[in-house]
Structure 1
């Protein structure tokens, strides 16, 4: 079980680094809002984070 937790944490950190590299500080803020909203089961926070990520993805495309 600890090995799975380490792998998941490493993937999350890697994904966060990719978001920061590609989308900058606003991408990190959006990712944090999405993550905190999901963990806290807060639909407004997770929706805001998801919307920001979608806007960033649409802008770069």
Structure 2
């Protein structure tokens, strides 16, 4: 069980670093809104974060 927790933590941190490297601070804010919204079960907060990330993923690459 600790190995699964460690692996999932590394995966989340790696994804967060990728988002920050690729999409900058706005991507981190979108990811933060999405994860906080999911943790506190707030559909509005998680929807805003998901929409922000979706717009960044589908937008033009800098």
The TM tier, using the shorter chain, reads over 0.9
Cα offsets for 1:4-52 (capped at 9, x unmatched): 0000000000000000000000000000100010111100010000000
- Number of residue equivalences: 61
Counterparts of 1:8-47 in structure 2, within 5 Å, are 8-47=8-47
Question: Which ranges in structure 1 are unaligned for 5 or more consecutive residues?
Answer: none
Shift in Å at residue 57 of structure 1? 1.3
RMSD value, Cα:
1.0
SS in structure 2 of the partner of residue 9 of structure 1: helix
Q: Which residue is equivalent to 1:6?
A: 6
Shift in Å at residue 60 of structure 1? 2.7
What TM-score results when the alignment is normalised by the length of structure 1?
0.94
